[in-house]
Amino acid sequence: MSVPARIVKDGWVEGEALVSPEPLGFLGGVDPDTGVVIEAGHSLEGQCVTGRVLVFPTGKGSTVGSYTLYRLARNKAAPAAIINAEADPVVAVGAIIAEIPMLDQVDVTLIHTGDWVRIRDGEIQVRRT
């Protein structure tokens, strides 16, 4: 299935989707050393974002979240890509400085955890697994 999107940070990547129906904040929400979601009560709590296509509606929280994404990348614990319904400026800046492909204006309900997602030139291809 092809899913339309807008490019925030371009890139070619593919990987397994990790999907949350709720916003995600990176500062205090994701461990920058391990890539594990540590926000208590979050739907992804205990899940690792490393190397996965991280799909969530939008970001939340502190502007330091941009630097948390950068730290994730430096620690080789970052997601392979980020897909949002609406790009939050904090997440967008983080993706850009960390060189993580990011797309938005996506109906994130079309993608499910475990789907195989391929991103090329702003086009999202989703394969159910």
Residue-wise over 25-55: b if at least 16 C-beta within 10 A, else e? bbbebbbbeebbbebeebebeebbbbbbbbb
- Edge-first strand order for the sheet with 123-127 is 2-3, 123-127, 116-120, 13-19, 53-56, 81-84, 102-104, 6-9
Catalytic residues: 62
Q: Label residue 13 exposed, middle or buried (CB < 10 Å: 0-12, 13-18, 19+).
A: middle
